[in-house]
Amino acid sequence: MQSKHCNMLQSWSRRGSNGTTSSTTNRLASINTNSRVETASVPMLRTLTSIRKDSCGSGTQECIPQHNASQCLSDNRRKSLLHYLIVLIAINFCYLQPASADQVVLLDTTREATLEWTRYPYGPQAQTPGWVEESFTDFVKGINWRSYVVCDVAYHNVNNWLWSPFIDRGPANRLYIEIQFTIRDCSLFPGNALSCKETFSLLFYEFDAATREPPPWQTDSYKLIARIAAGEGRFNQNSDVDINTEVKSIAVTKKGVYFAFRDQGACISVLAVKVYYITCPAVTENFAHFNETPTGREITIIEKQNGTCVENAEPYEPPTYLCKGDGKWTILTGGCRCKVGYEPNYVNKTCTECPAGTFRSAEVRKCVPCPPNSSTSSTASPLCKCIPGFYRHPRDGRHMPCYKPPGPPTNLTVLFVDQTSAIISWNAPAKDEFGMGQTEKYRSDVVYKIRCSMCNSNVMFNPSTDTFNETKLTLTNLEPVTTYTVQVHATNGISYLVDPTLYANETFTNSEVQFSNVSSTTTKNQQLDLNEIKTEHAEIIFTTESAILSTIFNLRVLAITSKDADLVWDKPVQSDAPIELYEVRWFPKPELDAMNKTALNTKETKAHIEGLSENTEYGFQVRCKTVNGFGSYSNIVYAQTHQPVSSVYDDSVQVRFIAGAIVAGVFFLVIFIVTTVYFLRSKHQDELDKKSSNHLPLPMDYASNEVTTPLFGNSRSYVDPHTYEDPNQAIREFAREIDANYITIEAIIGGGEFGDVCRGRLKIPPNFVQDIDVAIKTLKPGSSEKARCDFLTEASIMGQFDHPNVIYLQGVVTRSNPVMIITEYMENGSLDTFLRVNDGKFQTIQLIVMLRGIASGMSYLSDMNYVHRDLAARNVLVNAQLICKIADFGLSREIENASDAYTTRGGKIPVRWTAPEAIAFRKFTSASDVWSYGVVLWEVMSYGERPYWNWSNQDVIKSIEKGYRLPAPMDCPEALYQLMLDCWQKQRTHRPTFASIVSTLDNLARQPQSLLTIRNSPENDGTQVLDTQRGHNIFISTDLWLENIKMSRYSQHFKEANLVSAQQISRLTAQQLSDMGITLVGHQKKILHQARQLDIVI
């Protein structure tokens, strides 16, 4: 197409003055972006104006409406300039750049040689000229656009329509239309304009050829996209030309769409129209290719795209990428990896086959040469095969060398042999110094196996395991005068690969296992057994010495105590030589097989053994020694040592002593606690007496009504995550790690400086089939370490709370990117926005229920010793059941709305919600949170109005210091406004606690009649808190007296208590007020103080 245009324009340049002239644009205006673009037509016209006096005398003339009707040019001079202009356009047009990768252009009028769009009215019968197709040129910028112009300002009832051709949407879900246009100022037509306007309408019509819908030229079927006007200015006779650019978008569902421009009396030039849709460009990430993906139907909708692995790669987890509405990819999960035998190219995202002589397995990241004693002759090899005679163990990695089985042990020798035992030793198999590639041929995991002929089940081996790596073996319980053949086989990890039947019938040395292939019947069978093993081995033959008949009988235990034993035995009946001595050995019964049995020698037929363990069963044996050696041991005799009586007595005494110590300790602890409590209560009472003497002489029953803080609390306290050196440690302690595979992101519902806030679904245990709605806050990859630390700190704070009115943390994702915080999903968003949207739609009792939930949540936080510091309606979230929950615990971060923040030495403070002592001295306590709660109460009753309106922060601070308090919102009950004033007491100790606020709201909810008194008195709005000491000592009636002291909320309480006279009220006590349900200490003091000063009026 581009080549065709270039050839056509070149032919126009050759035609010279004989070419057809294109009329310049005669209706121009400004754009929304107000980018100043002086078109080619203006300087050209100025040039032509300079030669106007030479060209207006003869020849055909043309009027230039942009400047003056008298500015006319001759045909020859004008055609010469036009010829030069077309040549410049042709050169520039041939080098135009294609559209960006993330835009797919469906229509671009700047690339068209002619448009020929459908127009109405059109033709000789038309009442108005309507839309006219012209050329818009700028030889400086190389522009030659076909455009449409209309300027029927001199007609009544103008209704000009211009339809685009049918635009097939393809895979697009949302189409964008970009219009470049100009609009002429109506002031240029002071007398001639009958219907001059400065706007036009943009409409669209979706059409599907498969349906029986009305034809696209029926105007009633078109939907309005927008009425489009110029930006800040419209050009006139003395101003430069401003080109306006307007971009609109629509969601599309059918096969295609028509766009329409409707003019009703404006002077417009539609210079260029481009229709396109946005895609996330095709990318290759993690060796997975993601095709070009059109964005969703709405900007907030994300499209999930599955990737396909590049050639010679395979997925380790299904690759997915999310396409956002702005055409950018986000949150890549899964990916592919190169198959074995192929090396990954991380720059080009390709997998290249390994050349011959190299390989790549799963254990290595790139192609490497074959390990020693192996080779490969093919490309893309996943492993190198061992050369003949060498083997590789299956558990060895493919990058490990191949080895030979070991040779036979060397220097096999008999170190000792007697009638019943023998000791043999050997050296390890000989090794070649080095094999191929300077690597030893033999593995270092050489172990030994023993085969023995004539060894029956009584023979004991040490070591007794099937295989061992020692080079010495002891055999016991052998038969005298017997010839034994012992083979020592050397094996390693790859020996069984030489012959799969290697260990089919092999019997290993184990003192507890009978040797199945040992035969004592024939030598032939024994020889066959030894020949079964085909591994390298060494063999030795030895014969035990002759038997000694000297055997001990009748061994017995004469006496045994806790530590001693006396043994006696009889002399041998037969002996081959004189007896030199007796050897006695003993051992605990569980250690029968131990080789370190204790022994002593004696020449008598008795022995006294000392040093035995208490309460232990021992085995005893005796054998005799002659000049021919030791005889065999006698049978084992067992006996158990005693437990001494003294130890039992000592244990009993010790138990009694410990019990007595415990009883004494508990007794003294009780005395200490009682004494401490008595001292604290006495001290507290003294402080109350001092306090009451400094104010009013209150009765004792009032003073005793003060609540005493328990000495030991049972609620757990909040732990500040900033005390942890590593934020990850706090996360592991207070938050639950969630596998990212159980999370599905559905839509982006918000965003911030550090990441997006999304709505999603979370699969919940135990079977992870059911899922719930959750809110997902993500941290952008590449965020600063401080941002990550603040992000994790907020999660570790939330993870410590579990209350129905505090936002619940489901868990966190920290082991994969992006880092996420998963919380419960609150459908109605922040409280201030929710109230503004639903202004006036709730009853007062519904608002009280919401306020009660906020107070309950803050009471829970206060009990945990947590101070919120930023309690405001914007930081309270509302779910579908209108339950309010405290949120936003990122206290270490800066206040997001800088206009509401006041900077002090300690940081930024939201002054409109913060108590005076916190602003002045940064003294943040639960009492300062109560002040903030009073402001939240005002926000709720005013349906989200901004506290202190548009005052500056300095004005707010000064007004509060002077005693100013926010006025009561419209239709606010007196009781609720009085609660606000209580929360805004300057002395923080006079403010109610959150627990008492919850109790007050509960009383108001149970007594709706107390909400009927509305605080709408103009004289009190915006004034200081009234002085309660003025004019309150006059009693006319209970209701009037309570109203005078601003305690009318308790009128019903006084009626129920039947307090109707001044005498009754003057005798009130604090206990009576508490019984009546008046629990706020400040209110009790105020009522009692005024009651004492009553002037009784009869």
Note the pLDDT of residue 1091: 84
pLDDT band (50, 70, 90) for residue 1092 = confident
Q: Any binding-site annotation on 751?
A: yes
pLDDT of 1005 above 80:
yes
| Domains of the chain by start residue, with CATH | 102-280 (2.60.120.260), 283-338 (2.60.40.1770), 405-429+444-494+533-547 (2.60.40.10), 553-641 (2.60.40.10), 719-825 (3.30.200.20), 827-1017 (1.10.510.10), 1038-1095 (1.10.150.50)
Note the pLDDT of residue 198: 87
pLDDT of 856 above 50:
yes
- Tell whether pTM > 0.75: no
| Helical (H) or strand (E) element with 664 | helix 645-695
Report the alpha-carbon angle 754-756-762, nearest 5.
Answer: 125
Token pair, residue 503, equals 């260990």
pLDDT band (50, 70, 90) for residue 698 = very low
Among 870, 888, 929, 982, the active-site one is: 870
Cα 1023 to Cα 94, 422, 573, 1017, 1032: the distances in Å are 75, 111, 125, 11, 19
Which residue, 12, 5, 16, 22, is CA-closest to 137? 22
Please name the residue that has the structure tokens 């307007």.
246
In whole angstroms, what separates CA 74 from the centre of its chain? 74
294-345: per-residue pLDDT in tens? Answer: 999 998 899 999 999 999 999 999 999 999 989 999 999 999 999 999 999 9
767-803: per-residue pLDDT in tens? Answer: 777 889 999 999 888 888 888 888 888 899 999 999 9
Q: Quick one: three-class SS letters along 715-727? A: CCCCCCHHHCCCH
| Helical (H) or strand (E) element with 686 | helix 645-695
734-743: per-residue pLDDT in tens? Answer: 899 999 889 9
Say how far apart CA 435 and CA 403 lie, in whole Å.
9
Say how far apart CA 1027 and CA 1032 lie, in whole Å.
10
Q: Any binding-site annotation on 123?
A: no
The highest-confidence range among 407-411, 746-750, 1037-1041, by mean pLDDT, is: 407-411
Q: Any binding-site annotation on 749?
A: yes
Per DSSP, which regions of 354-419 are E strands? Answer: 358-359, 368-369, 374-375, 385-386, 410-417
Summary mean pLDDT of the chain: 77
Note the pLDDT of residue 432: 57
Report the percent of the chain where pLDDT is more than 90.
Answer: 39
Q: Any binding-site annotation on 757?
A: yes
Note the pLDDT of residue 1021: 45
How many residues appear in the chain?
1098
Note the pLDDT of residue 105: 95
Q: Number of C-alpha atoms within 13 angstroms, CB side, residue 461?
A: 27
pLDDT of 906 above 70:
no
pLDDT of 89 above 50:
no
Q: Is-catalytic flag, 870?
A: yes
Note the pLDDT of residue 596: 58
Q: Any binding-site annotation on 890?
A: no
Note the pLDDT of residue 370: 92
| Beta-strand pair 598-602/629-630 | unpaired
Say how far apart CA 54 and CA 71 lie, in whole Å.
11
pLDDT of 283 above 50:
yes
pLDDT band (50, 70, 90) for residue 494 = confident
Note the pLDDT of residue 1008: 82
Report the percent of the chain where pLDDT is more than 70.
Answer: 74
The highest-confidence range among 643-652, 875-884, 891-900, by mean pLDDT, is: 875-884
Q: Quick one: three-class SS letters along 1009-1047? A: HHHCCECCCHHHCCCECCCCCCCCCECCCHHHHHHHCCC
pLDDT of 880 above 50:
yes
CB of 876 closer than 8 Å to CB of 884 = yes
Question: Sign (positive/negative) of CA torsion 866, 870, 872, 877?
Answer: negative
Please name the residue that has the structure tokens 């040797």.
515
Q: Any binding-site annotation on 622?
A: no
713-747: per-residue pLDDT in tens? Answer: 445 688 888 888 888 888 888 899 999 889 998 88
Q: Any binding-site annotation on 750?
A: yes
More confident residue, 1001 or 593: 1001
Please name the residue that has the structure tokens 């085995």.
619
